[in-house]
Amino acid sequence: MVAQVSPDCSTAVTICDNTPVNSGTNGYGVDDFDDADTSGCLEKTLSGAIESNSAWYRFRTSASGQLGFNISVDESEDWDFALYASDNCDNLGEPVRCNFLDNDDENKFLGVGEDPTGNTENINYEDWLEVEPGEDYYLLINNFSNVNSGFSIQFSGNIFVANPYDALDCFINNTLLGPPIAACESDFVELDATTSDAISYDWFKDIGSGYEQIIGENNATLEVTESALYRAMVRTTTEDIVGEVQVYFTLNPIANDVVDSTYCYDDEFIDLTSFDAEVLGSQSSDDFVVSYYATFNDAVNGENALDVNHFKTSGTETVYVRLSSFENPKCYDVSQDFNLIISEEIEEDFPLVVYQCEGESNVVVGDDTPDTSYSYMWDSGEDTATINVPSSGVYELTITNAIGAIICSETFEIEVIVSLSPEISNVIIDDLQEENSVTIETTTNGDYEYKLDNGAYQSSPIFKDVLAGEHIVYVNDLNGCGEVSESIVVIGFLKFFTPNSDGINDSWSIAGWDELTDASVLIFDRYGKLIKQLSTTDPDWEGFYNGIQMPASDYWFKLTYVNNDGARTEAKYLNSHFSLKR
């Protein structure tokens, strides 16, 4: 049975809470837009007017909250809608929600709010309305394709959670029996023709062959259980009043059992529509819509449907099913749920890069804390969680987990890299400055960290603000392949001196060696001949050897001292060269 339809705004069909709409369109009656080219997103159609095959409805809100609606159509057809916030067809204004898009994606729904199937990519939906009580709206539904199989309208939104029975004002319709009634089988539907000065009531029913009186029904109310047109004839003291109403009962859908499903963990999605056939059973997808929810309450309210491309998470997730009638979406079944069982993610809790120290004959790779429920297989054929490998290279480990009848596996590549032990090749000491610095150089560029004396390790080989005296520098391999150290001395000395008795740089000496124990300096000429020995009690050389002035030339020195272990040692890494100029 098709509900009442009006192609004109002036005779728009009233919708209130108990009247989901199922209807079709055929023509557009009068041109409600007076030959206008556009109204909001709507444009002229092949009819020469904005309307092509139109149906007009009106409703009034009686509560506040979020309001939307779903228009279900044949996915091969092209439908449009416009919603006007107005109580007057002569002053509709611009629509507050409007959709004129074609249906190339073949969606089953368009409207305001959210696609009830959870299809978040449906572009035929406009944003929710936020409404207050007493707001009037006109809704135009237009068929652009001129071929239509009808439609149904279901209102939605959280406004119906707090006000499930009175979110839309039924008193907007002041006819005797009110607007058309769309009900679900087993619903209690009572028609009420109560009139204050009534003398008698008679009831009639038309199931397609004309009205026939219902014998014995003479009360002001009538309980109905069958789809039909009903008529009440009320005789009053002054007149006879006749009211008619259409009542249509929709069969309740029956959701069938869905078997729990098991999946491997990965970054993919589950297509929830793959369960539709199980839910529907022998019922047709043309008659019913399946949607899925994270909670039972959401399923009952038809809110927050899960995206049909549902992201998988490990563990067990219960999905709640709602099976609704296209004809009357208020007829639904939420009796079924099922579990999605997702395996745990197989993660590597072992290093994927392993360093083999120089000189080691082999190194252990793999999972040294294996999960006893997993199985392990290497590309070499070994089936243990760890293996010994003799050389650098890439090794593949496949870890498998069985969950029910599903086998899940992940393959990991483990790279073995030879790490050379650290070796200090040079220490550059910038001395005789306000801020002395030390830079450590190594023979290879490894994964190293550096330390001076008892300080903390650092990533940089450069140390600044180093005090004069003896120090120990360390180089440590971060991959566990050893640590080396060197003892160094930070001192200062002139790179040249001019013993000409002018009072400037007349002698050569060491600065900072008083920080050393029993320090001694031996000075040599370019041929290696010992020229002078300095000590802390005789710290200066004025350029003489046995009382004879030495010529202008280059000279070298060697610094020794007693280290912390009590042994006399030679200071390394000194640039032990200076010049005598005359």
pLDDT in tens, 155-192: 889 998 888 778 888 777 667 887 778 889 989 999 99
| Residue 239: predicted pLDDT | 85
Average pLDDT rounded to a whole number, residues 87-105: 92
What values do phi and psi take at 378, rounded to 5?
-95, 160
The answer, yes or no, to whether residue 356 has pLDDT greater than 80, is yes
At 16-43, the pLDDT tens digits run: 765 667 778 888 999 999 999 999 999 9
For the chain, percent of residues with pLDDT exceeding 90: 59
Q: CA nearest 288: which of 105, 149, 106, 108? A: 108
* Average per-residue pLDDT for the chain: 90
CB burial class (10 A; 0-12, 13-18, 19+) of residue 188?
Answer: exposed
What values do phi and psi take at 318, rounded to 5?
-90, 130
Q: Evaluate whether the domain defined by 186-250 bears CATH number 2.60.40.2700.
A: yes
Q: Which ranges of 122-215 does DSSP label H, i.e. alpha helix?
A: 159-162
Q: What is the CATH number of domain 424-490?
A: 2.60.40
CA distance 207 to 229: 7
Question: Residue 386 has which token pair?
Answer: 């760890």
* CATH of 492-580 among 2.70.50, 2.40.128, 2.60.120, 2.60.40: 2.60.40
Half-sphere exposure for 551 (CA within 13 Å, toward CB): 3
Average pLDDT rounded to a whole number, residues 106-113: 92
At 319-337, the pLDDT tens digits run: 999 999 988 888 999 999 9
501: Cβ contacts below 8 Å, ≥ 6 apart: none
CA dihedral 113, 115, 116, 121 (to 10 degrees): -140
Average pLDDT rounded to a whole number, residues 126-133: 96
What values do phi and psi take at 54, rounded to 5?
-115, 155
Q: How many helices (H) and strands (E) does the chain have?
A: 3, 50
Angle (CA) 445 451 457, round 5°: 90
CA distance 21 to 168: 14
The answer, yes or no, to whether residue 242 has pLDDT greater than 90, is no
For the chain, percent of residues with pLDDT exceeding 70: 97
Question: Which fold, 353-419?
Answer: Immunoglobulin-like (2.60.40)
The answer, yes or no, to whether residue 465 has pLDDT greater than 50, is yes
406 vs 203, more confident: 203
Residue 435's pLDDT band, with cuts at 50, 70 and 90, is confident
Q: Are 294 and 304 in contact (CB under 8 A)?
A: yes
4 vs 265, more confident: 265
What does R_g of the chain's alpha carbons equal in angstroms?
46
**377 secondary structure, DSSP code:** E
Q: What is the CATH number of domain 9-172?
A: 2.60.120.380
* Cβ density class 324-345: b for 16+ within 10 Å, e for less: bbbbbbbbbbbebbbebbbbee
Residue 194's pLDDT band, with cuts at 50, 70 and 90, is very high
Residue 4's pLDDT band, with cuts at 50, 70 and 90, is low
The answer, yes or no, to whether residue 371 has pLDDT greater than 80, is yes
| Residue 376: predicted pLDDT | 96
Beta bridge partners of residue 432, listed in sequence order: none
Average pLDDT rounded to a whole number, residues 361-374: 91
